Structure 1
Amino acid sequence: MRLYRKLFYLLLICLLSGLMTGLAQGQDEDATRRFWPPNFRPGAAAPSAAKPRQDRYKRTSPALAKDKLPLDSTADNVVGITVWRLRPAKETDEARILVKKSGKAVQWTPERVEAQTTFSEGQMLRLSIEIPRTGWLYVIDRELYADGSMSDPYLIFPTNPASNENRVSAGRVVEIPNQQDEQAYFEMKSLGRDGGPAQVAEMLTMIITSSPIKDLPQRAAGDDSPILLSKSLVEKWEKEWAAEFEQLELEGGAGKSYTKAEQSVGSKPAKTLSQDDALPQTVFRVAMKSGKPLVVKLPLKIK
């Protein structure tokens, strides 16, 4: 009888332990799935009670340790990015952009894709970036090769480091390239090097600082090409500012088309999106204290 009683208590303890673990995991998963800082778009109208938001994020990378990152509404150590792949426009599309190619202006529609998508040569992409803090955004592009090496780094945003075009704040959307640019898209190409390994991705590095980075090289008058940066300088920034991060994707977001609201704020820096508008497709949550520089790397893979 005592043996049965001991077995009963042992089984009960195991069941309770499993239940508590499951609840903790469920709460952690729910916090991740619901994660989106309300201060990302300040002053926005909250979703109506009749239509509560159903947006959820799924983690697509290893999770950060809980002690490295707060899961509260004041966290500003996140970067929201939406990668847009252009497709021929349809009559039913809400918003489109004009793309000039081979001397012709044709309407195309940006469509959301997950950041880990592998792209085919010739596909055209655009980026939208949101930062829930006041600061300065810098975007660096390098070719990533099959052996892990990279090309020289080029600053592709801001186009003019002396301007304030890269000043960011909560709710502002930065589109790259600018909608008004002659070539308002990135065309995916696998260039490779003579006798060297093939290119496997375009490695984009986003750096967010609390004050402008000083003494950056400037473009020559009339030159609209990306700005070549020193490899050692970029490596210094990465060494000083880089930290672990985790990546999340908006569930059900991939495949959705550009909205009029997204098109409008992308062309007018003074405008912002509201909490009722579509959220960024991809979120990077960085293990860095509030106000410190953030570094996020996004490889755009090429077949």
Structure 2
Amino acid sequence: MLRRTALILLLCATSALACSVPVFRYALEHWVADPYRVSVPHGVKLEGNFKVTVGAAQRIELRQPVMMRNDEVIWSADYTEANVKLLVDSPARQQIAERLGNGESAVWVLLECGDQAKDAEAARFLDERLEYLSSVMELPKLDQQDVKNGLVSIPGDGLRLAFSTLRLKRDDAAESAFIAMLLASEPDLRSLKEPIAFPIFGQGRVLYALVGKGIKVETVDRAAQFLIGSCSCQVKEQNPGVDLVMAVDWKQMVKAQAMPGQQLPELSQIADLLPQTVKIGAEPTPEPVADKSRLYWGGGLGLLAVLALGLWRIMNSRR
């Protein structure tokens, strides 16, 4: 009885946290990436989602976030400026960030195994299946209350349903730290000699790995449906996925998407839109009461427009 009551309470709590925002968008706006643990020589400073400690002299050692409960060093290198850059950023991560910044739902990284036939087949299947899913799947309809509550910063018509792929060679030296993070996202991935697909979304979060023959209709569709489906639980730790290190200002990215650049009219331009009165003839004539009322209405609306614009600018200057 006690177990049943606990289950009911858990389901009720989960339902209370549910929202209409797609998972990929909610993750981008709210799921802050967990910091990786990195040991560096004394005095070295790093930018990014890191928890830094002083380690062995002239050596960089990378470990997963604490919540992964894995103290194994997943990547190490001699301390040089070049290796620090490899740790923090890479060309592939820049492409992923750019695509997510353009509103894509997820970027599917295909880590090649080196077998040209297997890699080509996996890439062909992913490209075709994701293109098909992008054309037939639909985003959930946003509840306006979720918008008002700040669960999403853009309206429903501002969301995109789009997937893309990015091929990555396993021996790419410029991506060595990034590849190490991907392969450490699940146990035993490093020992597999098959192409592996990683759907990446949110603030650089890999959902899970699809390996070799597991890259098929059922698994790809299931992952895509989860990513574009309504966020059933807003607690990140209760959702699948592992965070990655990406040198991106996610808050600024979300803000840029929510408030795209707009050319606001100047006050002088608004004044040109106000009602104008023109008197014709040499002798002034009494103005009918009805005409005066229209003039007052026009002036009042113009004043309201000016005040509204000023208030809009003040509110946005505070964001």
TM-score range, shorter chain: under 0.3
Question: Could you tell me the TM-score, scaled by structure 1's length?
Answer: 0.22
Q: Which has the higher Rg, Structure 1 or Structure 2?
A: 2
Q: Which has the higher contact order (CA 8 A, sep 6+)?
A: 1
Higher helix share: 2
Question: Could you tell me the TM-score, scaled by structure 2's length?
Answer: 0.21
Higher strand share: 1
